[in-house]
Amino acid sequence: MSSSSLARLLKEKRVLVCCGAGGVGKTTVSASLALGAAQAGLRVVVITIDPSRRLAETLGVSPNQDAPTELSADRLASVGVSPPGSLSAWMLDPALVCDHVVRTVSKSAADAEELMNNRLYKNIAQLVAGMQEYTAVEALHGFVVDDRYDLVVLDTPPSRNALRFLETPHRANGFLDPKIFNLFLPSPDGALQKAAGKVIRKILDLGLGEESRTELQQFLDLFMVILKHLNHNQEEMRNFFASSDVSFLLVTSPNQAAVEEAFYFEQKTRELNLPLGGYILNRSLIREQSLPTLSLNDMPSAPPGVAESAVNKMMDLAAQEDEIIQRHLALGRQLQERVGTSSQLSVLPRLRTDASDLEALVELSHILKGTQPISRHAEASRPSVPPSAAGMPTSQSWFPPKNQS
Give the per-residue pLDDT at 393.
34
φ/ψ of residue 265, rounded to 5: -65, -40
Tell me if 325 sits within 8 A of 350, measured CB to CB: no
Give the per-residue pLDDT at 397.
31
Give the per-residue pLDDT at 94.
80
Kindly report which listed range (97-111, 287-301, 381-395) carries the lowest average pLDDT score.
381-395
The model's pTM = 0.75
Neighbours of 273 (CB within 10 A): 8
Could you tell me whether strands 246-252 and 15-19 are parallel, antiparallel, or unpaired per DSSP bridges? Answer: parallel
Q: Where does the pLDDT of residue 342 fall: very low under 50, low under 70, confident under 90, or very high at 90 and above?
A: low
Tell me if 266 sits within 8 A of 331, measured CB to CB: no
Q: Where does the pLDDT of residue 249 fall: very low under 50, low under 70, confident under 90, or very high at 90 and above?
A: very high
- What distance in Å separates the CA atoms of residue 49 and residue 44, rounded to the nearest whole number? 17
Q: Who contacts 374 (Cβ-Cβ below 8 Å, separation ≥6)? A: 287, 349, 363, 367, 384
Residue from 20, 1, 6 nearest 252 by CA: 20
3-7, 87-91, 283-287: which has the highest mean pLDDT?
87-91
CATH number belonging to the domain at 1-405, selected among 2.60.40.3880, 3.40.50.2300, 3.40.50.300, 3.40.50.280:
3.40.50.300
- What distance in Å separates the CA atoms of residue 155 and residue 141, rounded to the nearest whole number? 15
Give the per-residue pLDDT at 5.
80
Q: Where are the domains of the chain?
A: 1-405
Q: Where does the pLDDT of residue 358 fall: very low under 50, low under 70, confident under 90, or very high at 90 and above?
A: confident
Neighbours of 109 (CB within 10 A): 9
In whole numbers, what is the pLDDT of the chain averaged over residues?
Answer: 75
pLDDT above 50: residue 375: no
Q: What is the DSSP letter of 401?
A: P
pLDDT above 90: residue 209: no
Q: What separation in angstroms does the CA of 178 have from each of 131, 172, 330, 347, 377?
A: 19, 11, 52, 46, 54
Give the per-residue pLDDT at 24.
92
Distance of CA 387 to the CA centre of its chain: 32
127-131, 210-214, 291-295: which has the highest mean pLDDT?
210-214
Could you tell me whether strands 15-19 and 151-155 are parallel, antiparallel, or unpaired per DSSP bridges? Answer: parallel
